[in-house]
Amino acid sequence: MKTKIKPPFLCLALALTLVALVSAAWGAGSEGCLNCHNDITKVGKDHLIDPVKYNHTNHSKLADSNFGCRTCHDTVTDKHPKDGISVSATTRCQDCHGDVLEEYSKSMHAKNANCGDCHNPHEVCTPTEISGHDMNKMCAKCHEPAKMVEKHAEWLPQAEQHIEALPCVTCHSESKNYVITMYIIKREDNSRYGDFKLATHDELKKFVGDKDIRTLIDTNSDNYISLAELKLFNGNPAHKSIRLLGMMTPEVATHNFQVLANRWDCTFCHASGPEARQTSYISLPEKDGSFQRAEVEKGAVLDALNGTPDFYMLGSTRNPILDKIGLLIIVGGLILPVGHGSMRFLTRKNRNGKGH
Amino acid sequence: MSEKKMIYLQPTPVRIWHWLNALGIVTLCITGAQIRFPEYVNLFGTYKAAIRLHNTAGIVVSLSFSLWFFYYTLFAGTMAQLYIPKKEDLQSGIIRQAIFYFFNYFRGKPNPHHATPDNKFNPMQKSAYLAIMFVLVPLVSLTGIALMNIAPLRDLLIMMGGLKILVGTHFLLACSLCAFLFTHIYLATLGHTPFAYFVPMITGWEEVEEHGHEHKPVHDLGKHAEHVSS
């Protein structure tokens, strides 16, 4: 889980100011470093940094407003790499994210992984800028998905469905709010029966040509997806190889990973009813691999036909109109017993001695 | 002249089949209500228990349905004869039967349908059964089985219009079956006494009043046995 970086603490700012005095002569900015570190032939896989992804991070913004890469890697000299000095970050994650580490240390996860095992500081996004799939990729580094499906299937009905439609952190960390986030998935190689994978920005670009990929769903580009726009997207024959995949995602992800007792009870998600499942977003990939979401019209995930044809949470995203039709049908079944029964009672004398 | 006569109407396999279906379908209705409306219905402890029971009952009823279907089509070979309305049934039989149920019954007139082992169901029953056993039950079973296997059937579901269509269809069909259940139970009280049709479904034997050369009683929904005079 990635967390939003907070403004540096005052003491850190003072320390950095001191470093700045020393390092000012070397010049700030990341450009010089990235000239080599974006080239795998020069630095190898382990030290490679994707400039597009890095420039999106809050870390790069922090670096740009301070001392470039030296904001964290302050041991680097102008003779690097010939001087042989290690440039591992001397600024530690907890220097800024102390509260996160404190929370994380209490979880049973802490002894198994440190920050860097899950998060790449050169690629981090905020919780809403990362797709549920990418969140789960972090977990999958250790927790092999097939094994997790098997393990969950011991107690969880439709385990595969659940693991496909949930970031692990939805159940294994706490958040006050959960929303439905929809992503576009696409059949591999546009084939008719290929597996669906999360669509990348470039893949979606092919559908819109010169236009912004948002226009794929957000036809009028107002950063708000109406039910009518969803209907257009779902019904467009040109969109045969792409579909919406819904996930229930946390708005804020905490780091106290655990097996939360109330998640064993299905009603944590499945009993909150249609009112609680009104808020949803469409999250689309950016060029840099992060995601930007747009709000969807309230109640779209409850629509029976046009909203999200493939997203259904048993019990909690049921359609209220269908509920009413169902009730009418059942009441209709009572018409004959009640109507015929009443007439039968009133005319009982006619059948005296003749049975019935 | 009227005399009382005992006929062996419901053989043991039919009675077991009927009550297994009854238990299964009532369980499906109640667990289904909890699955769809968990905030309002909680009769089985946990949601998971309701789902497991619903799935189990669904499989039992589907198997029981298949047994019925294959027995009558492949072994007995009487499916079409018993359940498909004939031309005359459609032209006049249904109307005649409807007039009886909704008019002449109240006037104390006899049932125009004379059941024989080869023609057990009256024209209205045939039509009702055609809809229920050939459309409603197979569709509600198939949609239910599909809902238990979403991942392997993904492509099929997309072709059909998605999970929502499947869930909605399953729900509305199930409501229709539930509605039929009320009608079915009510019609079963139309014997010469209110419980006259319930007893044979338990013991197998039914007491009928014979008026000269006939008759089977007014209503025989759910009866698949041949008549054996006692």
Domain ranges in chain B?
Answer: 2-211
- Please compute the mean of the pLDDT values over residues B153-158 and round it to a whole number: 88
- Measured CA to CA, the distance from residue B174 to residue B132 in angstroms comes to 11
Q: Does domain B2-211 have CATH number 1.10.15.40?
A: no
A15-20: long-range contacts, CB 8 A cutoff, minimum separation 24: A16/A66, A16/A67, A16/A71, A19/A67, A19/A70, A19/A74, A20/A66, A20/A67
If one compares B198 and A23, the residue with the highest pLDDT of the two is B198
pLDDT > 80? residue B210: no
Please indicate if any CB of chain A lies within 8 Å of the CB of B59. no
How big is the A-B interface in CB pairs under 8 Å?
Answer: 136
Q: Cα distance from B75 to chain A (closest Cα, Å)?
A: 34
pLDDT at B130: 86
pLDDT digits (tens, 9 = 90+) for B98-131: 888 888 888 888 777 766 656 667 888 888 888 8
Instruction: Show Cβ contacts of residue B112 under 8 Å, excluding neighbours closer than 6 positions.
Output: B96, B97, B100, B122
Q: Does B151 contact A at CB distance below 8 Å?
A: yes
CA atoms within 13 A on the CB side of B49: 7
Asked if residue B5 has pLDDT above 80, the reply is no
User: What pLDDT does B52 receive?
Assistant: 93
Of A255, A271, A302, which residue sits at a domain end?
A302
Top pLDDT among B148 and A4 is at B148
pTM value surpassing 0.95: no
The answer to whether residue A267 sits within a structural domain is yes
Nearest CA in chain B to A235: B161
Q: Which of A278, A302, A326 is the last residue of a domain?
A: A302
What pLDDT was estimated at residue A353?
54
Q: How far apart are CA B159 and CA A313, in angstroms?
A: 20
Predicted local distance difference test score (pLDDT) of residue A15: 57
Which of B51, B175, B209 faces A330 most closely, judged by CB atoms?
A: B175
Residue A158 included in any domain: yes
Alpha-helical segments (H) within chain B: 12-36, 47-70, 79-83, 87-88, 94-99, 105-107, 123-131, 137-148, 154-160, 163-187, 198-203
User: What are the two backbone dihedrals, phi and then psi, of residue A176, each rounded to the nearest 5 degrees?
Assistant: -75, -40
Q: Which residues of B touch A355 (CB under 8 A)?
A: 191-193, 196, 209, 217
pLDDT at A281: 95
- Specify if A296 maps to a domain: yes
Which is nearest to B122 in space by CA: B102, B105, B104, B98? B98
Residues of chain A with pLDDT under 50: 1-6, 19-28, 355-356
- Indicate if A197 and A238 belong to the same structural domain: yes
Most B CBs within 10 A among A330, A342, A348, hence the mutation to make, goes to: A330
**C-alpha dist (Å) from residue A55 to A35, A61, A114, B82:** 14, 7, 24, 75
A184 and A281 share one domain: yes
Range of the domain at A61: 10-96
Helix (H) / strand (E) containing A282: strand A280-285
Across chain B, which distance is largest between two alpha carbons, in Å?
66
Asked whether the predicted pLDDT for residue B212 surpasses 70, the reply is: no
Q: Which residue bears the tokens 């009443």?
A: A342
Q: Is the pLDDT of residue B214 over 50?
A: no
A50 and A142, same domain (yes or no): no
B213 pLDDT above the threshold of 50? no
Say whether residue B160 is in contact with chain A using an 8 A CB cutoff.
no
Question: Greater confidence, B59 or B151?
Answer: B59
Q: Is A157 on the interface with B (CB under 8 A)?
A: yes
Note whether residue A351 is domain-resident: no
Number of domains in chain A: 2
- Do the domain assignments include residue A59? yes
Model confidence at B226: pLDDT above 50: no
Q: Give strand pairing partners of B211.
A: B2
Would the pLDDT of B12 be above 80? yes
- pLDDT tens track for A274-317: 777 888 999 999 988 899 999 999 989 888 888 888 899 988 88
State which of A74, A96, A118 marks the end of a domain. A96
Between B206 and B181, residue with greater pLDDT: B181
Please give the span between the terminal C-alpha atoms of chain A, in angstroms, as a whole number: 71
Residue A222 domain-assigned (yes or no): yes
CA atoms of B46 and A264, how far apart (whole Å): 10
Claim to verify: residue A86 and residue A40 sit in the same structural domain: yes
Q: What was the pLDDT predicted at A338? A: 94
**Do A178 and A30 have their domain in common?**
no
Mutate to test the interface with B, among A233, A336, A343 (most CBs of B within 10 A): A336
Return the amino acid letter for A33: C
The CA distance from B198 to B205, in Å, is 10
| Nearest in space to A178 (alpha carbons), one of A109, A272, A259, A256 | A272
ipTM higher than threshold 0.90 = no
Q: Are residues A191 and A259 in the same domain?
A: yes
CA-CA distances (angstroms) from residue A189 to A194, A195, A241, B100? Answer: 7, 9, 9, 64
Please tell me the predicted confidence (pLDDT) of residue A252.
Answer: 83
Q: Do B38 and A354 touch (CB under 8 A)?
A: no
First-last CA distance in chain B: 19
Q: Does B98 touch chain A (CB under 8 A)?
A: no
Q: Is the pLDDT of residue B22 over 50?
A: yes
Percent of chain A with pLDDT over 90: 35
A337: contact with B, CB 8 A cutoff = yes
- Residue A103 within a domain: no
Instruction: Let me know whether A239 and A199 are in one domain.
Output: yes
Give the CA radius of gyration of chain B.
Answer: 20
Whether A92 and A155 map to the same domain: the answer is no
Q: Do B178 and A327 touch (CB under 8 A)?
A: no
Torsion of CA A74, A79, A80, A84, to 10 degrees: -100
User: Are residues A50 and A180 located together in one domain of the fold?
Assistant: no
The SS3 assignment for B31 reads helix
Residues A261 and A179 in one domain: yes
Beta bridge partners of A292: A284
More confidently predicted of B228 and A182: A182
In a domain, A262, yes or no: yes
Distance in Å, alpha carbon of B2 to nearest chain A alpha carbon: 10
Let me know whether A143 and A92 are in one domain.
no
> Amino acid letter at B3?
E
Residue to substitute from A243, A265, A310, interface B, most B β-carbons within 10 A: A310
Pairing of strands B2-8, A224-225: unpaired
Cα distance between residue B62 and residue B138, in whole Å: 8
Please tell me whether residues A79 and A38 are part of one structural domain.
yes
> Which range scores top for mean pLDDT: B3-7, B115-119, B218-222?
B3-7
For residue range A170-195, list pLDDT tens digits in order.
Answer: 889 888 788 999 999 998 876 667 78
pLDDT of residue A12: 59
Closest CA to A135 of A247, A2, A255, A263: A2
Interchain contact, B209 vs A355, CB within 8 Å: yes
What's the rounded Cα separation, in Å, for the pair A4 and B112? 80
